[in-house]
Amino acid sequence: MIEFDTVGLRYGHGPEILRDLSFKIEPGSFHFLTGPSGSGKTSLLKLLLLSLKPSRGRVKMFGQDVTDLDQDSLLRMRRHIGIVFQEFRLLDHLTTYENVALPLRVLGRPESAYRANVTELLEWVGLGERMDALPALLSGGEKQRAAIARAVIGRPDILLADEPTGNVDPELSLRLVTLFAELNKMGTTIILATHELPLLDNFKYPRMVLRDGGLSFHG
Ligand SMILES: Nc1ncnc2c1ncn2[C@@H]1O[C@H](COP(=O)(O)OP(=O)(O)OP(=O)(O)O)[C@@H](O)[C@H]1O
């Protein structure tokens, strides 16, 4: 599903921050991505989201080499990938409900087909009462839950999450990773970047560890 072959990444003329990454991620798998601050977790997620191009090496997604794909093909491929950004990126002029429903609206689904699902998911993540609020009125943790709901609502083939539990308490963190685990059981391939090592001990998923520009797999 995802294949990296000797991928390197540098920003501008700076040093390579990721070096010689070669690995395969199988469909339906779940990996945690860890590593010290600045080790390149967000950069690796951006490569996986196809929003950054590697400086060298090749990346294959869904069986296709993406290195030389044109912008339209990249955008089409990206529709199969959900992402929870560190900084949420909710649209300010849309309500919580509308933000979460957006990926389905973009796919052209009628509201009658998804209203109940969106409402149910919002209730599950504890935002049932905040559905009609604009993002400016949400707390950091509420925004984060809305961003997660938006990323999972369309059941993407691949879900990438960058510190998705950074602003919530340990109990809710566990609940949110459990939501990712449930999505994974339905077939979504998940890569979840986090600093919170104690949280990971609740789950048996393998870990990808970034350090000094290299990536190793554990578990
Ligand atoms: N747009 C950019 N331009 C130049 N350098 C960058 C850019 N983005 C990231 N970097 C550098 O690349 C390295 C890896 O950054 P990245 O944000 O990927 O790490 P991270 O592991 O996600 O960090 P954190 O855990 O603190 O979020 C850092 O040294 C950072 O300064």
The protein residue whose alpha carbon is closest to atom 5 in ligand 1 is 11
Give CA–CA dist 145/168, Å, rounded: 9
Of the residues 104, 131, 154, the one at which a domain ends: 154
Give CA–CA dist 166/82, Å, rounded: 18
Q: Report pLDDT for 86.
A: 80
Ligand 1 binding pocket includes 125 (Cβ within 6 Å): no
pLDDT digits 0-9 by tens, 7-65: 999 999 999 999 999 999 999 999 999 999 999 999 999 999 999 999 999 999 999 99
Q: Report pLDDT for 171.
A: 85
Give CA–CA dist 142/126, Å, rounded: 8
Atom of ligand 1 nearest to the CA of 35: 21
Of the residues 134, 154, 174, the one at which a domain ends: 154
Considering its fold, how many domains does the chain have in total? Answer: 2
The protein residue whose alpha carbon is closest to atom 30 in ligand 1 is 38
Q: Report pLDDT for 173.
A: 86
- pLDDT (mean) for 194-210: 91
- Mean residue pLDDT of the chain comes to 93
The protein residue whose alpha carbon is closest to atom 8 in ligand 1 is 43
What's the whole-model pTM score?
A: 0.90
Distance 37 CA to ligand 1 centre (A): 8
CATH classification of the domain holding 175: 3.40.50.300
